[in-house]
Structure 1
Amino acid sequence: MALTFAATPRTHQQVAPRPRGRRGRAARRTLTGWAFAGPATLIVVGLSIFPAVWAFFISRTRWNGIAPARDVGWRNYERIATDPDAITAAKHTLLLTALFVPGSIVLGILIAVALNQKIRLIGFYRTCIFVPYVASAAATGILASFVFNPQFGAANEALRRLGLPAQQFLESPGQALLVICLIALWGEVGFTAVIYLAALQDIPRELIEAATVDGASRWRTFLHITLPELRPVTVFAAIWQTITAMQLFDLIYTTTRGGPMNSTQTIVYYIYELAFQTQRLGYGAAVAYLLFVVTMLLTVCVIWYSRRSGSEAF
């Protein structure tokens, strides 16, 4: 009996393509990312780091921007300690910062708590609070100049209707800096209110409900639960608003120009006068670098204290 075997067709073995190496893919992704981010990075470096380094070399010279610069070493920095105008400007800046930073934080928390309630037209109210922050600071200063004008301003008109004496506001050496702080608060409180509102909405509802079940009042709940949860945001807001107050320029430029009698001359406005009005570029750069060092030290101290106390924000 003959046995027949069916011949099965010979199949060719298919070789799978070799997978690409992980290093190659990672390198390609890195190159692609830098291809997009590289030009913007070069622009940022060119417009920020290079001028900052160049300004440091200028701060060690005596230069008016036209004649050749003359190297004076560290004498510009030594002169700051005995400059009465610089000391006065520093006092004004510290006073403005001491009033502005706590005021913006306290008002920001109060407004955020109010905007966190479930009431009608809450979206409209939140928008109204944030509009002054996104508005131009120069426009805010020009508008405030009309509002606080001693002759025909709306502020004095309101005081007259209330039977109160009119005030000089921005034309009074004793009131001008306080009015500047009030205008700055009106323009910046929307920022702190928004970040505190976001932080309030991020607090777990279980904590509030547990405190309520245990019989805690709203005030005790706010004091012992809400405020501790807001510590990281408070650290961030304090640093941000401190930098904002120490670098305040546009409001002063559009309202008082440092007057009356230099009562609103802050460090930044003093730097502007040195560099662009009296053409003392070297000394102005030295004052600017000293302001940078002070701001950096304050920021580092606040961050160090916040981390040590357990309320990290960075």
Structure 2
Amino acid sequence: MSITFAARPRTRRATESPSRHRRRGSARRSLAGWAFAGPATLVVVGLSIFPAVWAFFISRTKWNGIAAATDVGWRNYQRIAEDPNVGAAAQHTLLLTALFVPGSILLGLLIAVALNQRIRLVGFYRTCIFVPYVASAAATGILASFVFNPQFGAANEALRRLGLPAQQFLESPSQALLVICLIALWGEVGFTAVIYLAALQDIPQGLVEAATIDGAGRWRVFRHIVVPELRPVTVFVAIWQTIAAMQLFDLIYTTTRGGPMNSTQTVVYYIYELAFQTQRLGYGAAVAYLLFAVTMLLTVVIFWRNRRSGSEAS
């Protein structure tokens, strides 16, 4: 007599492959993550995209914010090329960017290298260098206007003690933009230094030790190992600081308000004057879109230059 046993049917979970099970788990975790982050993401995207789209429609109108808007097509954009104030503001903005971005990168890198050493009270020094960045930019501008006051400012007092002539600083058309750049560097270099400091601590020490054993000095190690390793961070800092320089407004508003003689009138401050002082909202929105296009162009150029230099180095 033969006894036969019926095969026990496999359950669905047992027949699933491990890869399919992992995919389901990953999808479940992704759904859980989007459930938490989705509402906040929608709010942030909505608050960014909706004003941008609305501003584009405003840029094609003539509107003072009160009366009904009049559609003028692309006339506002055509007027930009004929407006001498836009050209002057663009020159001031580009000059400020050309001074601020390399200065913030160089100073931030030097400070980060100094703070990456084993020195006493290094934590206190790192905190002090970052404090100006978290301070209010408006408060920084108000404080700087007292420091660089030609009559009773601390800067001229220091020059007098050194036997140097007093300067007009923020009241001089030839010096005001340079002083604003200096104030902006004082407030922003802490951010650059912290970013570079974190990147320096991620550089493999084996590369540095191998180069040192091969006889390379500190300068050669810094030039051929540290700087190439920091290239992605430098690109990020350059883009970030370029955007910060081209959108600088609060320091100018609290110190010079575009003066003297419009020598510190940047594109952003000119947009503020158009939109909120002369109520030319349509034309101001058109200039704002021009600033956005230039910022995007500079960002693409920085990316392209970095990829080209990286491919040539490899």
Q: TM-score, normalised by structure 1?
A: 0.90
Question: Aligned residue for 1:187?
Answer: 187
Deviation string 1:170-203 (CA, Å, 9 cap, x unpaired) is 1111110000000000000011111111111111
Q: Does 1:87 align with 2:68?
A: no
Deviation string 1:201-246 (CA, Å, 9 cap, x unpaired) is 1111122222222222211221222112111111111111111100
Distance (Å, rounded) in 1 between the aligned partners of 2:221 and 2:47: 48
Q: Does 1:169 align with 2:187?
A: no
Q: Does 1:310 align with 2:302?
A: no
Compared CA separation, residues 121 and 14, structure 1 to 2 (3 A) = farther
Question: Aligned residue for 1:9?
Answer: none
Distance (Å, rounded) in 2 between the aligned partners of 1:17 and 1:166: 89
Distance (Å, rounded) in 2 between the aligned partners of 1:283 and 1:161: 49
RMSD of Structure 2 on Structure 1 (CA) = 1.9
Question: Aligned residue for 1:65?
Answer: 65
1:264-303 alignment runs, 5 A limit = 264-303=264-303
Displacement of 1:310 in angstroms is 2.2
Distance (Å, rounded) in 2 between the aligned partners of 1:32 and 1:229: 36
Question: Aligned residue for 2:3?
Answer: none
Compared CA separation, residues 288 and 225, structure 1 to 2 (3 A) = same
1:57-136 alignment runs, 5 A limit = 57-136=57-136
Distance (Å, rounded) in 2 between the aligned partners of 1:121 and 1:159: 31
Distance (Å, rounded) in 2 between the aligned partners of 1:206 and 1:26: 36
How many matched pairs?
Answer: 299
> Is the radius of gyration larger for structure 1 or structure 2?
1
Distance (Å, rounded) in 2 between the aligned partners of 1:27 and 1:210: 44
Distance (Å, rounded) in 1 between the aligned partners of 2:286 and 2:220: 49
More displaced stretch, 125-134 vs 203-212:
203-212
Question: Aligned residue for 1:259?
Answer: 259
Distance (Å, rounded) in 2 between the aligned partners of 1:105 and 1:46: 33
Deviation string 1:262-308 (CA, Å, 9 cap, x unpaired) is 00000000000000000000000000001001101111121122123
SS of the residue corresponding to residue 310 of structure 2 reads coil
SS of the residue corresponding to residue 55 of structure 1 reads helix
Displacement of 1:85 in angstroms is 0.4
SS of the residue corresponding to residue 112 of structure 1 reads helix
Deviation string 1:89-131 (CA, Å, 9 cap, x unpaired) is 0000000000000100110111111111101000100111111
Amino acid at match of 1:89: A
Question: Aligned residue for 2:157?
Answer: 157
Amino acid at match of 2:281: L
Compared CA separation, residues 160 and 233, structure 1 to 2 (3 A) = same
Distance (Å, rounded) in 1 between the aligned partners of 2:125 and 2:30: 45
- Of all paired residues, the percent bearing the same amino acid is 84
Amino acid at match of 2:132: P
Question: Aligned residue for 1:201?
Answer: 201
Amino acid at match of 1:310: G
Amino acid at match of 1:289: Y
Amino acid at match of 1:258: G
Distance (Å, rounded) in 1 between the aligned partners of 2:93 and 2:216: 42
Distance (Å, rounded) in 1 between the aligned partners of 2:308 and 2:159: 48
Q: Does 1:246 align with 2:257?
A: no
Question: Aligned residue for 1:10?
Answer: none
Compared CA separation, residues 42 and 157, structure 1 to 2 (3 A) = same
More displaced stretch, 50-59 vs 40-49:
40-49
Deviation string 1:52-83 (CA, Å, 9 cap, x unpaired) is 00000000011000111111111111111110
Compared CA separation, residues 107 and 27, structure 1 to 2 (3 A) = closer
Displacement of 1:28 in angstroms is 4.9
Question: Mind listing any 5+ residue stretches in structure 1 that lack a counterpart?
Answer: 1-12
Distance (Å, rounded) in 2 between the aligned partners of 1:48 and 1:199: 30
Question: Aligned residue for 1:235?
Answer: 235
Compared CA separation, residues 71 and 38, structure 1 to 2 (3 A) = same
Question: Mind listing any 5+ residue stretches in structure 2 that lack a counterpart?
Answer: 1-6
Question: Aligned residue for 2:4?
Answer: none
